[in-house]
Amino acid sequence: MAQVVILTGMSGAGKSTALFAFEEMAYYCIENIPTPLYGQLFALINQGDAQYQKSVIAVNLTEAKQAIEAARAQQGLKVTVIGLTASIDSLLSRYKLTRHAHPLQPKGTPLLEAIKAEHALFNETHSLFDIVIDSTNLTVAEFRGKLFNAFLENANDSLTLNFVSFGYKHGIPVDVDLIIDARVLPNPFWVSELKGLTGHDAAVVRYVFNHDVGREFLFQVEQYIRYYLSFFIKESRPFYTIGIGCTGGQHRSVAVAEHLSKRFAKQLKTMVTHRDIHLESVKDSE
């Protein structure tokens, strides 16, 4: 059964933020559809094309009733309607900050009057909404979290852990959320037969991990990251980047990043980037 979410509500209450969240949940997002085409659109979705099995249709509040009626006229289509709202003072403040024109603000109409008119329209349409979200006092993370909790089958699917290995001698990445220092591990650079290899090579991995220090390091780091996972998911951010640093970014950090990516791939989407692995040469000194 195809699932359709009709996203509507007051201008400035968070429609764009909500669309980004639905995109991250793999919904097909559609907006700015002419009113006369609603019937054809929902009939197309209801035909069973896999591309549209989870769709979000963003509509202005003035067109919400027509869109809802057209969607619910399609038998077998699962329809959920979200109405976004916020206090008049909050919306007034947001519009003054962005300096955008309100869609109900024809030439000469004061902004406050336009917001009040839309607020009255929201109240008239309220009975058609399945879910109402008031964004007045919500942070962006809290607002997104409400959507993820309501529509994501598995909250972990919204998060990708990106492990980035790097060398401290080349600078710390500016876009990391956590940093793990792998310089406490034995350094393969000082072993002649390992010096020219990288953390991808089995011999380096054995040298770094196959002893009490290496095993304890991996255990403690994994527990440290798992402690933060619940906070990562609650914040509803699509990516969290964890930097793994050693001196040069060739051996230890690469091996640790690869290990952690494989461990967490059992429950989350993971990515690995080795920023500095090709910057080192056998003549460099770590």
> Helix, strand or coil for residue 103?
coil
126, 153, 180 - which closes a domain: 153
Residue type, 90: S
Residues 10 and 40 in one domain: yes
**Lowest-confidence region among 4-18, 161-175, 228-242:** 228-242
| Confidence category of residue 236, pLDDT binned at 50, 70, 90 | low
- DSSP secondary structure string for all residues of 43-59: HHHHTT-GGGSEEEEE-
Residues 129 and 9 in one domain: yes
Span 62-118, pLDDT tens digits = 999 999 999 999 998 999 999 999 889 988 888 888 777 788 777 678 888 888 999
118, 135, 153 - which closes a domain: 153
| Confidence category of residue 202, pLDDT binned at 50, 70, 90 | very high
Judge whether 22 lies within some domain.
yes
Is residue 158 over pLDDT 70? no
Distance from C-alpha of 210 to C-alpha of 134, rounded to nearest angstrom: 54
Residue 74 token pair: 């399609």
Q: For residues 94 and 187, which has the higher predicted lDDT (pLDDT)?
A: 187
Judge whether 286 lies within some domain.
no
Judge whether 265 lies within some domain.
yes
**Domain harbouring 106, CATH code:** 3.40.50.300
Name the residue range of residue 247's domain. 159-274
* 3-state helix vs strand vs coil in the chain, percent to 5: 50, 20, 35
CB 144 within 8 A of CB 17: yes
Count of domains forming the chain: 2
CA-atom Rg of the chain in angstroms:
26
Residues 7 and 147 in one domain: yes
Residues 163 and 208 in one domain: yes
**Best mean pLDDT range from 49-53, 108-112, 132-136, 244-248:** 244-248
pTM over 0.85: no
